[in-house]
Amino acid sequence: MKEKWSALMEKDGAKSVAASLLSILIGLLVGCVIVTISGLSSAALGPGAVWDGIRLVLGGILSTGRDAAGGLTFGFNPANVGNMLFRATPLILTGLSVAVAFKTGLFNIGAPGQYLMGAAATLVTALSVPTASVPAPAVWLLAFLAGILAGALWGAIPGLLKALLNINEVLACIMTNWIAANLVTWIFDGSIWRNMEENGKTGYVYKTARNGVETAKWGLDAIFPGSQVNWGIIIAIALAAAVYILMTKTTMGYELVSCGSNRHAARYAGINDRRNIVLSMAIAGALAGAAAALYYLSGNTEFYWSTYQALPAVGFNGIPVALLAASNPIAIIFTGCFMSMLNIAGQQLTNLTGFNEYITDVVIAAIVYLSAFSLLIKMMLSGRKKHRVPAADGGPAADAGKEKGGGEA
């Protein structure tokens, strides 16, 4: 049994999984320590609140509130689980966006800008095409494809700059992020899509439900009543499977990964490295655009048009999602759900205890930060074993071994 376990841990995939699980465990422990210190140092909280806080950090997704005696209760909470899946949808897709670029040796920090461009294209299409003339499902499909196309075009810009001018993609992505933020703000500022019907909502764009364009639920609302979940999560899982097949089972994926491993060697082997760099960033941008499209096509989410104030966090959160999954598209499904679960747990911590919203953000940030150490933990698990090369009979290494051991036996 011990030998089988050792053989399993020698595999690269097993080490990646173990490193990710250890990173998550360490992050959760750090979160519990932060809750403990915060609770014990506050006269308004105390040990009881600390114990409640720790339980919510570890299992907030299963919290069902408090009973008549004031104690926390746990069990299957369909609303929490459904909302977790809904919020995981864009995280899975932005994680895939970052992972595809990673596989090609690129760092796509431009997912926020690609997400914004996808959101703008999706909303403009969904709210502009009259559903009185075009069936709502057809408008939904057009809006979804528009978001994907806008993200792909925006992602291709840093790819072109990298491929043709060798401009660092990180710098190019940072600039395109802020260009996208201000461009989207300019598009919606004073536009006909601003919400002018609800008081206090003038800084928001209409929901797509206003035009009758929504992602179908098809029974998920019955399984998870009271939540926002829809078939967007199914589409995200399907896209993750498609990316896995693309990267591992196709010639295109082989060329992308080859360029990521060694761009110059790939070029020597006859692979068009410049084309693949642009293609990789375009695919990454398309996935980020799809994330925005599915989020805002839900029909119950609002887009705040003053995006110059902050870039969307979901674009940056795709980075730890990809890191925790070691850029494996299938694993990203689970890490995206985990990150979404942390968000739900944070809400429960704020709503059911005396801890304020800031300690919740600190706990989540600590776990996200430690996710970046998964690669370091993987290296520690691998160790630095020195394998001695067998020497031929009579060779220098054999002679050296004989001298060290005192000659022949």
275-315 pLDDT, tens digit each: 999 999 999 999 999 999 999 999 989 898 776 677 999 99
Let me know if residue 118 belongs to a domain: yes
Let me know if residue 138 belongs to a domain: yes
The CB-side HSE value for 87 (13 A sphere, CA atoms) comes to: 21
Let me know if residue 46 belongs to a domain: no
Let me know if residue 185 belongs to a domain: yes
* Domain of residue 217, residue span: 87-308
Let me know if residue 336 belongs to a domain: no
SS3 state at 278:
helix
Q: What is the DSSP string of 18-71?
A: HHHHHHHHHHHHHHHHHHHHHHHT-TTT-HHHHHHHHHHHHHGGGEEEE-TTS-
Separation CA 292–CA 154 (nearest Å):
13
Structure tokens at 37: 């210190």
Which residue shows structure tokens 């996935």?
A: 287
Q: Using CA atoms in the order 320, 324, 328, 334, what is the torsion angle rounded to 10 degrees?
A: -100
The secondary structure element, H or E, covering residue 74 is strand 72-74
For the chain, how many structural domains are there in total? 1
Contact at 8 Å (CB) between 61 and 404?
no
Q: What is the pTM of this model?
A: 0.88
Question: What integer best gives the mean pLDDT of the chain?
Answer: 87
Contact at 8 Å (CB) between 203 and 304?
yes
The pLDDT assigned to 318 comes to 93
Residue 398 pLDDT > 90, yes or no? no
Let me know if residue 223 belongs to a domain: yes
Separation CA 350–CA 360 (nearest Å):
7
Which of 239, 257, 261 is closest to 248 using CA atoms?
257
Let me know if residue 375 belongs to a domain: no
Q: Which of 29-43, 137-151, 203-217, 280-294 has the lowest mean pLDDT?
A: 29-43
pLDDT digits (tens, 9 = 90+) for 200-217: 777 889 999 999 999 999
SS3 state at 297:
coil
Let me know if residue 288 belongs to a domain: yes
